Amino acid sequence: MADQRTLVAMINSKATVLALAALLGGMALFAVGCGEKDPGPSAETQKQSDRLSQIQQSSGGDWNKMSQADKDYMINELGQGSEAKAKMLLGPPAKGTPGQVPGR
């Protein structure tokens, strides 16, 4: 009889309830996190990234050295119709040594 009372007291204690809630919550998070691997970028995104890299390399990061076809692609396909956004994607030409403080 005393063992039953002790068991009931343990179940009713706040600490036990909180510990069980934390344990169940942790198990739920673990179960949710066990999914498939991220497939990575889509084929379309990879194609756009490859094209952007090619344009950056061929122009040396200079908007004025790009062909009109490349400018049109940058504006319409990547820059959402904005020349300013397209120029930002092209990026400034690299200056200085990588890893150093900018401007030095």
- pLDDT (0 to 100) of residue 51: 92
- Whether 92 contacts 60, CB under 8 Å: no
- pLDDT (0 to 100) of residue 99: 61
Residue 70's nearest CA partner among 81, 85, 60, 59 is: 59
Q: What is the pTM of this model?
A: 0.53
* pLDDT averages per 10-residue partition of the chain, 104 residues: 67 68 71 69 89 90 92 93 89 60 60
Lookup result for tokens 């403080």: 101
Lookup result for tokens 């909180």: 18
